[in-house]
Amino acid sequence: MINIADIQAAADRIGGKVRYTPVIAADQFKAPATDAHLTFKLEYLQVTGSFKARGAMNRLLATPTDQMTRGVVAASGGNHGLAVARAAFLAQVPATIYVPTNVSESKIDKLRQWEAEVVVVGDVWDETNLEALRHVERTGAAYFHPFADPLIVAGQGTIGLEVLEQCADIDTVVLAIGGGGLIAGVSTAIKALRPDVRVIGVEATGAPTLQRSLQAGKVVTLDKVTTSVPTLACARTDERIFELVRDQVDQLVLVDDEALRSAARWLWFEMGIAADLSGVAALAALHDKQLQFSRNERVCVVLCGAGPDPILMG
């Protein structure tokens, strides 16, 4: 699907169009989440509030303008849609974003502020995506898939390049998984340049898409998605994503929705960071003790998305 050259090309392409997000030491806590030397990659500070801006911008800049004359379309739990809406706004082409019924009102509001047309349909992303594809068939608009697109995955992989530059002595990187584009891109970058670094993925218990596929040895479709987190609710990954994860990711763990909410509250109390529930998924695996590390290990957790809703809901 992609290799390190694709990610390096993406980094050159999107440089100056998205933010090079900081890494900070995660310490001075009242109640530490781990004994390890912990750092946070603050990707929630990315434009539009999540890592998705990287992939969407890479896809936009690599797409000929004449292919977007009828606009761009995406199906999203919120963050990818925001990234595509911003990219379309910068390119001065119309964007239509399909979102599921459980997407937060705050993200719908932000989509409209980016001047996107928002269509709310489907209970989970897979249902929403079918409607987006029908829109593409009707209109000929350019379709921006959130994870099954090499340009999107290469864009997300630029996080891996930055982490290795910022954390030269890192042992482990922990990332959230929805459809798998983030971890596929980041693991490709890290394993190409530092194969000794472990890459760990975290899925929602109610959407264990890649875990079930790895257990089966092939891509499977979940019978049911029960997580309430739309940005983690994917019933089926892409075969190419599956192959990258199978070959490059060292471990997968699951966290339930309550663990996600607990981690978001902890992060707000300890650091004043308002992350959405997918954005805090990697941290939740440490906070919930699904992952435990020794004092000497150096672990980077990617906080991949912002959102006030877990805090506002208490």
Give tens-digit pLDDT for 255-272: 999 999 999 999 999 999
Q: Show which of 101, 116, 143 is a domain's final residue.
A: 143
Sign, Cα dihedral of 268, 272, 273, 276: positive
Residues 35 and 94 in one domain: no
Mean pLDDT, residues 286-308? 95
Same domain, 18 and 101: no
Instruction: Let me know whether 68 and 179 are in one domain.
Output: no
Q: What is the pLDDT of residue 308?
A: 81
**Window from 13-17, 158-162, 223-227, 304-308 with minimum mean pLDDT:** 304-308
Summarised one tens digit per residue, pLDDT across range 30-85 is: 999 999 999 999 999 999 999 999 999 999 999 999 999 999 999 999 999 999 99
Q: How far apart are CA 273 and CA 306, in angstroms?
A: 8
Average the pLDDT over 191-210 and give the result.
Answer: 98
**28, burial (CB in 10 Å: exposed 0-12, middle 13-18, buried 19+):** exposed
Whether residues 90 and 211 fall in one domain: no
CATH at residue 218: 3.40.50.1100
The structural domain count of the chain equals: 2
Q: Are 189 and 161 in contact (CB under 8 A)?
A: yes
From 119, 143, 167, the end of a domain falls on: 143
Are residue 173 and residue 280 in the same domain, yes or no? yes
Check whether residue 28 and residue 103 sit in a common domain.
Answer: no
Distance separating alpha carbons of residues 99 and 298, to the nearest angstrom: 37
Same domain, 92 and 106: yes
* Backbone dihedral angles phi then psi of residue 53, each to the nearest 5 degrees: -60, -30
Question: Above pLDDT 90, what percent of the chain?
Answer: 96
Q: Which two tokens stand for residue 88?
A: 């379309």
Given 128, 143, 158, the domain boundary residue is 143
Residues 137 and 182 placed together within one structural domain of the fold: no
**Identity of the residue numbered 241:** I
Read off the pTM. 0.96
The reported pLDDT for the residue numbered 314 is 55
Q: Which pLDDT score is estimated for 302?
A: 98
Give the C-alpha separation, 125 to 132, whole Å. 10
Q: Which domain holds residue 219?
A: 4-50+150-312
CA distance 119 to 101: 9
Mean pLDDT of 210-234: 97
Q: Are residues 78 and 128 in the same domain?
A: yes
Q: Same structural domain for residues 40 and 103? A: no
- Provide the pLDDT confidence category of residue 311 given band limits of 50, 70 and 90: low
Question: CA–CA separation, 214 vs 208, rounded Å?
Answer: 10
- The pLDDT, as a whole number, for residue 135 is 97
Is residue 91 within 8 Å of 62, Cβ to Cβ? no
Same domain? 85 vs 114: yes
Lowest mean pLDDT among 38-47, 99-108, 158-167: 99-108
Strand order of the sheet with strand 72-75? 117-120, 95-99, 72-75, 142-143
Angle, vertex CA 62, rays to CA 60 and CA 65, nearest 5? 70
Distance between CA atoms of residues 266 and 1, nearest Å? 37
Same domain assignment for residues 18 and 115: no
Average pLDDT, the chain: 96
